Amino acid sequence: MQLLTGQTLSFRDDPFAVPFAEACTLRRQGGVLIEDGRIRAVDEAETLRAAHPQAEVISYGADLICAGFVDAHVHYSQTAIIASWGLRLIDWLNTYTFPEEARFGDPGYAAEIAARYLDLTAAHGTTTMASFCTIHPASVEALFTEAQARGQCVVAGKTCMDRNAPDDLRDSAQSAYDDSKALIARWHGRDRLHYAITPRFTPTSSPDQLAALGGLWAEHPDCLMQTHLSEQTDEIAWVRDLHPEARDYLDTYEAHGLLGARGLYGHAIHLEPREIDRLTETGAALIHCPTSNTFIGSGLFNTAAMKARGISTGLATDTGGGSSFSMLRTMAAAYEIGQLTGTPLHAAQLIWLATQGSAGALHLDHEIGNLAPGMAADLVVLDLASTPAIAQRQAEARNLWEAVFPTLMMGDDRAVRATWINGRPVTSKP
């Protein structure tokens, strides 16, 4: 049994729905009691110390302990091409992404990148992610195998594409169904692993493939389904050409059984009013990828407006369309985009999106995304003065939110003092 002490942040409610003071519990001298990979209690450090004198105390001083970050949309297979210059979505896919994803035909390469990706993200405080893999089942095996060895909660799926992709990156409607089904049987619900049925997006899946995957989802309704929606205007025009019968982009998914409450729709920037209505009605989740949306030049997602509609919203790096592995950097980008849409997000809302919001989108908020008794002990410990620039600003802070905000805006992996996964410290700095 371990008692971690520091400043602690937990959520009682959604800070988009209720005032921050009601939504959050911030303790200056808090404690998190951990046993067997779970959080047993969160309270004042002294109270926990007195009640559990046998617990090993790990003191993090004035560092902030909160739930580990949940990155709700990534492509781990794009780790090695992150920050590729100068192109927009379709050309970026063809020039940088597809050639890199083709390398995952080699299971050894897939294993190497899976380990590298999980090392990098742990160093950045991310404890769970929902990842697209490549069309190769071995790319899913590689990520799940590595995550399982680390005791990590990971959502992943084989990316399916049977049109508008290079020869060596195309499956078929039948093989996408068969391979995904076999991967579900092998991995879904095993330890902390969850399968997401993963059609890349409408332009790269034929109607037959979309229908096959919609059918597979109906057979496995407890699986998640992840895809892309309305990221760039050129992409939307392409979908309109491919599907003149559809009412809009979302309709191409709905017509094939790919719209539902356990659906995760990445980007979703340029939505029609009808699409917003349908997403609201069905309880589907939108995933905001702010560094990607500026890096690839996609547009501005209005988080506050989607939350006001009651739409489940998660936050994500979109590695490697996004330009960072860091959920801190991603919160900064979400703040900046909020400014451009006239709705600046509060620090409490940003951290909520990166933890509870994303966990809720993944339907895993009973398990991860908060410091609360019974939750998995997946934590990040943030040094709120990790660089001279942050430290000098933080020294002027008049309250804890002002002390946290500079780290959200200017922090990176240097701010991550420790990351705990499944009750064990996996990265740690003095």
Q: Which of 68, 214, 290, 321 binds ligand GUN (CB under 6 A)?
A: 321
Of the pair 141, 231, the CB lying nearest ligand GUN is at 231
In whole angstroms, give the CA distance from residue 378 to residue 369.
8
Residue 404 touches which of ligand GUN, Zn ion, none (Cβ within 5-8 Å per kind): none
**Angle 173-187/207-219 helices, nearest 10 degrees?**
30
Binding region for ligand GUN (CB under 6 A) out of 89-97, 116-124, 243-251, 389-397? 89-97
Residue number with the smallest Cβ distance to Zn ion: 266
Residue count, binding to ligand GUN (CB under 6 A):
12
How far is residue 86's CA from residue 422's CA, in Å, rounded to a whole number? 39
Nearer to ligand GUN, 41 or 81 (CB): 81
Count Cβ atoms within 10 A of the Cβ of residue 407 and give its class: 0-12 exposed, 13-18 middle, 19 or more buried: buried
Would you say 312 or 317 has its CB closer to Zn ion? 317
| Residue number, 199 or 369, with CB nearest to ligand GUN | 199
Cis check for the bond before 321: say yes or no (omega within 30 of 0).
Answer: no
- Rounded-to-integer distance, Cα 213 and Cα 199, Å: 7
Residue 158: name its binding partner from Zn ion, ligand GUN, none (Cβ under 5 to 8 Å by kind). Answer: none
Three-class secondary structure of residue 404 per DSSP? helix
Q: Give residue 99's identity as a one-letter amino acid code.
A: P
Identified binder of ligand GUN from the candidate list 100, 171, 179, 318, rule CB under 6 A: 318
The rounded Cα 84 to chain-centroid distance in angstroms is 21
Q: Which of 152, 232 has the CB closer to Zn ion?
A: 232
Distance between CA 141 and CA 187 in Å, rounded?
9
Q: Which residues within the stretch 66-85 sit at the binding site for ligand GUN (CB under 6 A)? A: 75
DSSP string, 249-312: HHHHHHTTT--STTEEEEE--S--HHHHHHHHHHT-EEEE-HHHHHHTT-----HHHHHHTT-E
Per CB under 6 A, the list member of 11, 96, 177, 201 interacting with ligand GUN is: 201
Binding residue (CB under 6 A) for ligand GUN from 52, 136, 158, 228: 228
Among left, alpha and beta (phi > 0; psi -120 to 50; other), residue 417 is: alpha
270 lines the binding site for ligand GUN (CB under 6 A): no
The reply on whether position 291 binds ligand GUN by CB under 6 A is: no
Smallest separation (angstroms) from ligand GUN to the CB of 147: 20
Residues that bind ligand GUN (CB under 6 A): 75, 89, 93, 97, 200-201, 228, 231, 292, 296, 318, 321
- Interacting residue ranges for Zn ion, rule: CB under 5 A: 266
